[in-house]
């Protein structure tokens, strides 16, 4: 196994040699508005970091590679705001199918889509299902907050916020931990936020576009409650959970 965990750093010979026995992870994010205080690349930056750190934690247990992160997602519900670059449902599905089949043709037989944006969640499940039916492979799709939900609850990440929410205190904490120089001050405040309900973690992504614009101004809970130390704690919990999920999936059925 090459010393690098990044697919784009390998030669074609290196990639071909390790593909049959290696778990290949494709992180998928989004470029979309994240309130007046966070960068539009929040989901992209976060999921890429989580995928690479999780892989580094488990690379001694399983052979693993991380593909370049797909930065664009299904984000039409944010187009009313500036800075959003979105693929339509049909285009996004087709893009992931094509990328997945490229990886399969390259020889990979164990693949994971690791998602960092709520609007992608349902589509990645369809892609994994359809490719696993068509090809004799193992293909999983997972959003990092669903994998790490129990761990996040254990560290109190759901307290007084929507988890994962959108541009609220959870994501603000994550970016304050990862890239504090990208967080704009002052961060907005929102009253009346209660603890997250595990059954409604992605409900906000089902709202119409005008609700994002007119009712909640593009963020789901109070960004001023974000905290860098809380972000570090949450990211560590996610990385551990995602790494464990990679190992469990790759070893399953072997």
Domain regions of the chain by residue span: 7-251
> What span, in angstroms and rounded, lies between the C-alpha atoms of 37 and 15?
40
Instruction: Name the class of domain 7-251.
Output: alpha beta
Query: Would you say residue 191 has pLDDT above 80?
Result: yes
Lowest mean pLDDT among 83-87, 111-115, 215-219: 215-219
Which pLDDT value is given to residue 187? Answer: 97
Query: Would you say residue 201 has pLDDT above 90?
Result: no
Report the sign of the C-alpha dihedral through residues 151, 156, 157, 161, in that order: positive
Query: Would you say residue 254 has pLDDT above 70?
Result: no
Query: Would you say residue 17 has pLDDT above 70?
Result: yes
Query: Would you say residue 65 has pLDDT above 70?
Result: yes
pLDDT above 70 covers what percent of the chain? Answer: 93
How sure is the predictor about 197, in pLDDT bands with cuts at 50, 70 and 90? low
Mean pLDDT of the chain: 93
Which pLDDT value is given to residue 3? Answer: 81
Query: Would you say residue 111 has pLDDT above 90?
Result: yes
How sure is the predictor about 218, in pLDDT bands with cuts at 50, 70 and 90? very high
Which pLDDT value is given to residue 194? Answer: 82
Query: Would you say residue 199 has pLDDT above 70?
Result: no
Are 165 and 226 a contacting pair, CB within 8 Å? no
Residue 228's nearest CA partner among 171, 188, 143 is 171
Query: Would you say residue 204 has pLDDT above 50?
Result: no
Note the pTM of the prediction, 2 decimals: 0.94
């Amino acid at each position: 196994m090459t010393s690098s965990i990044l697919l784009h750093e390998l030669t074609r010979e290196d990639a071909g040699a390790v593909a049959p026995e290696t778990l290949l992870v494709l992180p998928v994010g989004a470029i979309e508005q994240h309130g007046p205080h966070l960068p539009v690349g929040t989901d992209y930056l976060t999921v890429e970091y989580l995928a690479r750190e999780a892989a580094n934690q488990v690379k001694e247990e399983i052979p693993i590679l991380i593909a370049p992160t797909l930065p664009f997602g299904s984000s039409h519900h944010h187009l009313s705001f500036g800075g959003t670059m979105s693929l339509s449902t049909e285009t996004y599905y087709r893009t992931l199918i094509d990328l997945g089949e490229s990886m399969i043709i390259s020889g990979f037989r164990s693949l994971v889509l690791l998602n960092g944006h709520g609007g992608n969640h349902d589509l990645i499940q369809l892609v994994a299902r359809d490719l696993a039916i068509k090809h004799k492979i193992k293909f999983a799709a997972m959003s990092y907050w669903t994998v790490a939900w129990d761990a996040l609850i254990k560290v109190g990440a759901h307290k007084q916020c929507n988890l994962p929410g959108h541009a609220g205190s959870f994501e603000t904490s994550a970016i304050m931990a990862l890239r504090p120089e990208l967080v704009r001050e002052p961060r907005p405040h929102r009253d009346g936020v209660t603890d997250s309900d595990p059954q409604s973690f992605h409900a906000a992504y089902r709202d119409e576009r005008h609700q994002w614009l007119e009712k909640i101004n593009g963020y789901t809970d109070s960004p001023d409650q974000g905290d860098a130390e809380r972000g570090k704690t949450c990211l560590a919990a996610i990385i551990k959970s995602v790494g464990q999920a990679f190992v469990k999936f790759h070893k399953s059925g072997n």
